[in-house]
Chain A
Amino acid sequence: MSDAASTHHVATEALVLLDHLPALQVLLPLMGAPICFLLRKEALVSAFTVAISFACLGISMSLLGDAMHGDVIVYEFGGWSRPFGIEYRIDITNAFVLVVVSLVAAVVFAAGPGQARRAIPVGREYLFYSAALLCLTGLLGVTITGDVFNVFVFMEISSLSSYILIALGRERRALMAAFTYLIMGTIGATFLLIGIGLMYQMTGTLNMVDMAERLVAVNDTRTILVAVSFVVVGISTKLAVFPLHQWLPNAYSEAPPIVSAFLAATATKVAYYLLIRFTLGLFGAALVFDRIGIDTLLMPLSVVAMFVGSIAAIYQTDFKRVLAYSSIAQIGYMTLGLSLASEAGVAAGLIHVFNHALMKGALFLVAACIMWRMGSTKIVNMRGLGQRMPITMAAFVLAGLALVGVPGTAGFVSKWALVTAALEQDALFLAFLIMASSILAVVYIWRLVEVIYFQEPDGEVEKKEAPLRLLIPTWILAGMTLYFGLFSGFSVEVAEAAATQLFAGLGTVGH
């Protein structure tokens, strides 16, 4: 009898805990960061961080599962309902982005600081893990929250910790890269804050649902037009949309490769989510696309980004810089999806968010392996690496092919979706430009393949792979680019459902 009662008790407690999953999603890494600081011992801290990031992954998967059933999950903090309290609001779009962020975090954190060890004094690794968990907190918080001011606060949490992580790079240039990012990032975030202030001024609420409802009435006031421009420019700075991308190449190439793998696969993706959420969710497609015509501005910028990024990537002499410039081009594909202003376009953008996170994560982890083996990621040092570390380089080839968009890889799925979306609007020329820029990707990937496989290595050849701790995460991500290329059901289905829900409008769905 008492046994039954206690099991019942445990069961209800588990149920209560399940109700709080949205809060735990953000609180776990937030609480984990100071605990890392207290634990100190490297082995302990890294095991703890990995455990937390996998718990986050589990939570986000379960949230996505619930969201895919069609309900919008609303979590009210302290039981205060809107407009008084702050609520977390999870629909398919942000559940999807939560999965992307926590998946990459779990895999990358498992790889540990790796070569950063040379930069971080021995015994200080716990600081790396604290900053990484804080960064994860910020990114998850931005994605999950239903309150616009919360977005700003979490964005700054993630940005401040990412400046710290970038400054961990080995060369002194990392400091300047972090500093430039800090200036650009702070100005971008402040722009967003101004935009949010103007929106608050016109609507008197900070809750996204209430705001979306009330914005309809004040749509054509000048204040809202100004708010749109501040918000879009602010987020675009964080997203590194073409003319605002200057901080990105230095930041990603000077940071330790592990940090680049994490940030390149998550930070810009979250910024892209924000751009979608603010334009489609809050301001509404009617205002942003039909009246202001953000799409006519975003489309040429995206196309220029695709070409400038890829062409610049061809001329780089450092592997990490190639990847950083290619990121600018890939962000171009995502914003191009949004600028098509159609369900298919936004779905294509979201598919690419997922796929690009996998490929760039894998490629930067390959960079981490090379850094560990060769001490640098200069392309001249990569001669004949195919003989030195064949398994790692096979992962590079796989992820590289995905970046190009070869059929059977994840990159093909998103480019196919994007081209289909363009053709849906009879934008033949645009479809052609997407193909043409893919050919540029062939050039910069082939250039690396040639150095790795067809040039003789300097000195004696000794076969030595990166340690398993780096190699396994690399192959998990690289394998996933193949898996989600062959079985694209999951990513395509979720992204399309998310786009449908977004266009249906934030206010009309759920509660």
Chain B
Amino acid sequence: MDFVNHFLTHWNYLGCITLMMIGLYIAISRGNLVKKIMGVNIFQASVILLYVSMGKVSGGTAPILMDGRSDVIYSNPVPHVLMLTAIVVGVASTALGLALVVRVNEAYGTVEEDEIVALDRAEDERALAAEAREEASGGAA
């Protein structure tokens, strides 16, 4: 019972960890580059949840100074401010990632990682074969 209670009182952290694992799993397991980016995005979003929930003070109100009252408890605004920056960073890296995916799609004609790897490997083999042919003709001359 104690155990369950412990978990339930930390539900915000549980949510954050779940989201974190979902994001990380998508980023690792998916072969589609767009999905990878989205996975990383979810992973970053979970960190925002972590910071925001650590800024919450029990019984605290929004940190806007109330004149003439000394008994008010305020929540900590610093983590929120930090997360504004982290959101900007997240948006920038997502945008750059998606821009790269667009260029990958232009260059390879696909955004599936296994197909791209296969294309690269085929290119390598062609280069090797060409080299071998050159070597053979050079030897004959």
Contacts and interface: CB of A to CB of B under 8 A. Distances in A.
Interface of A: 149, 152-153, 156, 159-160, 163-164, 167, 172-173, 175-176, 178-179, 182-183, 186-187, 189-190, 193-194, 197, 200-201, 206, 380, 458
Given A172-B107, A186-B44, A197 B33 contact: no
B50 A163 contact: no
A175 B107 contact: yes
Given A178-B100, A187-B40, A200-B54, A194 B47 contact: yes
Q: Among B54, B96, B103, which residue has the most Cβ atoms of chain A within 10 A?
A: B96
Contacts of B101: 179
A176 B116 contact: yes
A194 B92 contact: no
A175 B104 contact: yes
Looking at A149, A164, A186, the one whose CB has the most chain B CB atoms below 10 A away is A186
20 contacts: A159-B93, A160-B92, A160-B96, A163-B100, A175-B104, A175-B107, A179-B33, A182-B96, A183-B36, A183-B37, A186-B40, A186-B44, A186-B93, A186-B97, A190-B43, A197-B50, A197-B51, A200-B54, A200-B79, A206-B78
Contacts of A380: 131
Contacts of B51: 197
Contacts of A197: 47, 50-51, 54, 79
A153 B54 CA distance: 20
Interface residues of B, number: 32
Contacts of B122: none
A149 B79 CA distance: 10
Given A153-B89, A200-B54, A182 B44 contact: no
Contacts of B47: 190, 193-194, 197
B27 interface: yes
B73 interface: no
B129 interface: no
Contacts of A175: 100, 103-104, 107
B84 to A, nearest CB: 11
Interface string B48-86: 001100100000000000000000000000110010011
Interface of B: 24, 27, 33, 36-37, 40, 43-44, 47, 50-51, 54, 78-79, 82, 85-86, 89, 92-93, 96-97, 100-101, 103-104, 107-108, 116, 120, 131, 138
A180 to B, nearest CB: 9
A155 B137 CA distance: 52
A344 B138 CA distance: 55
Nearest to B44: A190
B86 A167 contact: no
A167 B54 contact: no
Contacts of B78: 200, 206
B100 A160 contact: no
Contacts of A172: 104, 107-108
A130 to B, nearest CB: 14
Contacts of A164: 96
B28 to A, nearest CB: 9
Given A175-B104, A194-B47, A197-B50, A182 B85 contact: no
B82 A149 contact: yes
Nearest to A182: B97
A155 to B, nearest CB: 9
A182 B94 CA distance: 9
A189 B90 CA distance: 11
A156 B79 contact: no
A156 B33 contact: no
A372 to B, nearest CB: 21
Contact of A187 (B33, B43, B116): B43
Contacts of A149: 82, 85
A455 to B, nearest CB: 13
Contacts of A458: 138
Contacts of B120: 173, 176
